Amino acid sequence: MGLLERINSPQDLKKLTYSQLDELAEEIRQEMIDVVSQNGGHLASNLGVVELTIALHRVFNSPEDKIIWDVGHQSYVHKLLTNRKKEFKSLRQFGGLAGFPKREESVHDCFNTGHSSTSISAALGFAKARDIKKENYHVVAVIGDGAMSAGMAYEALNHAGNSDSNLIIVLNDNEMFISPRVGAMSSYLNKIRTAPGYDRRKEELKNFLTHIPAIGSSVAKAAGKAKDGLKYFLVPGVVFEELGVTYLGPINGHNISNLEEVFNRAKLKKGPILIHVVTSKGRGYEPARQRPDVFHGVGPFNKETGEILKKDTPPSYTQIFGRTVCELAARDDSIVAVTAAMGSGTGLSEFGRLYPHRFFDVGIAEQHAVTFAAALAFGGLKPVVSMYSTFYQRAYDQVLHDICLQNAPVVLAVDRAGVVGEDGPTHHGIFDISFFRAIPNLTIMAPKDENELRHMIYSAFTYKQPVAVRYPRSEGMGVKIDQEMRLIEKGKAELMREGQDLTLIGFGPVVYMCLQAAEKLVTLGIDATVINLRFINPLDENLIVAWALKTGRIVTVEDHILNGGTGSAVLELLQSKGITNVKVERIGYKDYVEHGSSAVLHRIYGLNPEQIVKAALRLVGKQREGKASG
């Protein structure tokens, strides 16, 4: 029986010797490599935090003590150590363990994460609640150097540094975000890492001062207390100290006993403390260590060779977007691209390579990215911002206030729109239609396939106003790609099929589901019209109203929540035109969507041609259904 088998709770860790802990660390790495090579997942980050997680669970008493994992993609080791090893094989699969901390899953997951840089705010919330209720437990936030690039982390530090609550922040510095790290804080952390350790410096300084005859010891005491003046030259982490946060480190994050020592010291200190831990992303698995960006979030791979298992699929929407922007940028040197730490995820790496001076990776700073782009536009450039739908949630005010209210001509590429699969509810892009649709001045498009995506990106740059283009995480439809990009008239939907019995309206690639459903309906004696909506803002009112009146029945289909989505837009249109005798069924999600493969999710949550057929039959009525099936 392996050691991991024997760990049923973090308490069991406390019985092991250091050499057993090393063995355990190796077993944990093997288990993670085994499971992630099958299911996909966030491997490199987790390989880097094995010792750190073991040490945290030996020194702190979860669940009484609260450990909050920032982003939470590095919580696999934590899950394995907190009685979830049996379920670990189901990681990220529908009904299985989530890829992120989840309160519903375990008492050891005290706060759900997924979006970056929330951990210090959450930790401070726990700390304040504890203090007000006069309880007694420790609170630890574990935050990466990437997550430390976001504004939210600084808002929380600003609050924490000015408070007397005990709080421990573990800054896990592995020199990487998903891609190599960017920004001034990263350079600062680098400076600290490459200088001798803080504690040694402080000790050396003390030794040096106490050896000055007569005044030495009192100056040493004063220096220790006031930590002023000299500190600017001598103390790493001074930036944090000046914010009122005691800095400890840097510490080797792969040495369990060193980590324990510093965690135990931190437990005794008062106020907010930041422990700077240095780890290596991908540690213990050479392919991940060599290519931590590729193994950050990785699909199934051959664990012997590290080779990613590739399916023979058409290029993804993301790839087509990236290529299209490069093509347009070659013709127009005012095109610039902005990403928030997702250069490769959004398909912009090649753009960054070809046009380094026109490419801005601003770190995990979605809000900044959007406001920055608005001003780039007013400065005479043509910016495209590419972010995942779910992360635009962070930048909503900036899209509304800085781009749309000022009518800044910025193209917003909304990648990962719709369900994204295994990353689950924190990452599904199922809200953007609703929250963007409410904003005046914002044209919103969705292509039915990758060829139309190219035309839409091209068109978006010509409209000279704010434009959002939403497209999914998936591979394309495999359609023929037109060499020439052409202008799509703003607000014009596409009539794909004409039928007298009902109208199917799809927004995005779900249009193909509508077409499949229409074919099936023909075999049931029902003739459907299919509209590729293309624009949700402005809507093609004439086309929708005309077919609504002709067929009297509409089914709307969207890879999105129903609240405020495509179906709502159609209903609002009918209401505004005084049309009351058209029956409408809306297909989309009614609630948050769990994790699992997109194919499984579409089936479970009812987004497929079969459900469209059922909705159509409901509208057309029993009589027709009977006739059709009889």
Nearest distance from C-beta of residue 144 to ligand TPP, angstroms: 2
Residue 278 CA to residue 249 CA, distance in Å, equals: 9
Nearest distance from C-beta of residue 372 to ligand TPP, angstroms: 15
Whether the CB-CB separation of 43 and 98 falls below 8 Å is answered with no
Given 10, 101, 144, 472, the residue binding ligand TPP (CB under 6 A): 144
Whether the CB-CB separation of 237 and 264 falls below 8 Å is answered with no
Q: Which residue stretch of 125-133, 172-180, 547-555, 575-583 sits at the interface with ligand TPP (rule: CB under 6 A)?
A: 172-180
State the catalytic residues: 281, 366, 394
Q: Which is nearer to ligand TPP, 172 or 459 (CB)?
A: 172
**What are the two backbone dihedrals, phi and then psi, of residue 402, each rounded to the nearest 5 degrees?**
-95, -30
Q: Which is nearer to ligand TPP, 45 or 537 (CB)?
A: 45
Question: 235 is written with which tokens?
Answer: 């103390």
Which residues in the 501-560 window bind ligand TPP by CB under 6 A? none
Is residue 29 close enough to count as binding ligand TPP by CB under 6 A?
A: no
Nearest distance from C-beta of residue 281 to ligand TPP, angstroms: 6
Given 37, 82, 116, 568, the residue binding ligand TPP (CB under 6 A): 116
Whether the CB-CB separation of 461 and 328 falls below 8 Å is answered with yes
Nearest distance from C-beta of residue 172 to ligand TPP, angstroms: 6
Nearest distance from C-beta of residue 74 to ligand TPP, angstroms: 5
Residue 342 CA to residue 179 CA, distance in Å, equals: 8
Which residues have a Cβ under 8 Å from the Cβ of 187 and sit 6 or more positions away?
none
Which residues in the 293-312 window bind ligand TPP by CB under 6 A? 296
Residue 540 CA to residue 520 CA, distance in Å, equals: 27
Query: Exposed/middle/buried for 331, CB within 10 Å: 0-12, 13-18, 19+?
Result: exposed
Which residues have a Cβ under 8 Å from the Cβ of 232 and sit 6 or more positions away?
238
Is residue 404 close enough to count as binding ligand TPP by CB under 6 A?
A: no
Residue with tokens 């058209």: 582
Q: Which residue stretch of 57-65, 145-153, 226-234, 328-336 sits at the interface with ligand TPP (rule: CB under 6 A)?
A: 145-153
Residue 121 CA to residue 116 CA, distance in Å, equals: 11
Whether the CB-CB separation of 364 and 386 falls below 8 Å is answered with no
Nearest distance from C-beta of residue 356 to ligand TPP, angstroms: 20
Given 145, 415, 558, 585, the residue binding ligand TPP (CB under 6 A): 145
**What track of x and - describes contact with ligand TPP for positions 338 through 377 (by CB under 6 A)?**
---xx---------------------x-x-----------
In 3-state terms the chain splits into helix, strand, coil percentages (rounded to 5) of 45, 15, 40
**What are the two backbone dihedrals, phi and then psi, of residue 360, each rounded to the nearest 5 degrees?**
-125, 110
Residue 30 CA to residue 511 CA, distance in Å, equals: 43
Three-class secondary structure of residue 167 per DSSP: strand
Strand partners, 388: 415
Residue 337 CA to residue 396 CA, distance in Å, equals: 19
Residue 402 CA to residue 376 CA, distance in Å, equals: 11
Angle between helix 609-620 and 622-629 (nearest 10):
120
Given 66, 78, 138, 394, the residue binding ligand TPP (CB under 6 A): 394
Query: Exposed/middle/buried for 103, CB within 10 Å: 0-12, 13-18, 19+?
Result: exposed
Helices and strands: H and E segment counts in the chain = 27, 17
Nearest distance from C-beta of residue 366 to ligand TPP, angstroms: 6
Given 35, 120, 156, 178, the residue binding ligand TPP (CB under 6 A): 178
Question: Could you tell me the strand order of the sheet in which 359-361 lies?
Answer: 359-361, 335-339, 382-388, 411-415, 467-470, 443-445, 535-537
In order, the DSSP letters of 263-279 are: HHHHHHS-SEEEEEEE-
Applying CB under 6 A, the site for ligand TPP has a residue count of: 23
Q: Which is nearer to ligand TPP, 283 or 296 (CB)?
A: 296
Q: Which is nearer to ligand TPP, 49 or 616 (CB)?
A: 49
Residue 156 CA to residue 120 CA, distance in Å, equals: 6
Given 78, 108, 281, 428, the residue binding ligand TPP (CB under 6 A): 281
Three-class secondary structure of residue 125 per DSSP: helix
Is residue 283 close enough to count as binding ligand TPP by CB under 6 A?
A: no
Q: Which is nearer to ligand TPP, 144 or 466 (CB)?
A: 144
Which residues in the 579-618 window bind ligand TPP by CB under 6 A? none
Is residue 147 close enough to count as binding ligand TPP by CB under 6 A?
A: yes
Given 100, 111, 126, 177, the residue binding ligand TPP (CB under 6 A): 177
Nearest distance from C-beta of residue 117 to ligand TPP, angstroms: 6
At 491, the amino acid letter reads G
Which residues in the 53-82 window bind ligand TPP by CB under 6 A? 71, 73-74
Q: Which is nearer to ligand TPP, 287 or 506 (CB)?
A: 287
Is residue 146 close enough to count as binding ligand TPP by CB under 6 A?
A: yes
Is residue 432 close enough to count as binding ligand TPP by CB under 6 A?
A: no
DSSP code for 514? H
Q: Which residue stretch of 171-179, 318-326, 369-377, 430-438 sits at the interface with ligand TPP (rule: CB under 6 A)?
A: 171-179
Given 115, 368, 437, 448, the residue binding ligand TPP (CB under 6 A): 115
Q: Which residue stretch of 92-100, 175-183, 221-229, 603-611 sits at the interface with ligand TPP (rule: CB under 6 A)?
A: 175-183
Is residue 174 close enough to count as binding ligand TPP by CB under 6 A?
A: yes
Nearest distance from C-beta of residue 80 to ligand TPP, angstroms: 17
Is residue 443 close enough to count as binding ligand TPP by CB under 6 A?
A: no
Nearest to 106 by CA among 78, 129, 136: 78
Q: Which residue stretch of 16-24, 139-147, 207-215, 258-266 sits at the interface with ligand TPP (rule: CB under 6 A)?
A: 139-147
At 199, the amino acid letter reads D
Nearest distance from C-beta of residue 331 to ligand TPP, angstroms: 30
Residue with tokens 């006031």: 226
Nearest to 495 by CA among 544, 536, 446, 537: 544
Q: Which is nearer to ligand TPP, 364 or 531 (CB)?
A: 364
Residue with tokens 């139309």: 452
Is residue 47 close enough to count as binding ligand TPP by CB under 6 A?
A: no
Given 100, 240, 321, 391, the residue binding ligand TPP (CB under 6 A): 391
Residues contributing to the site for ligand TPP (CB under 6 A): 45, 71, 73-74, 115-116, 144-147, 172, 174, 176-178, 281, 296, 341-342, 364, 366, 391, 394
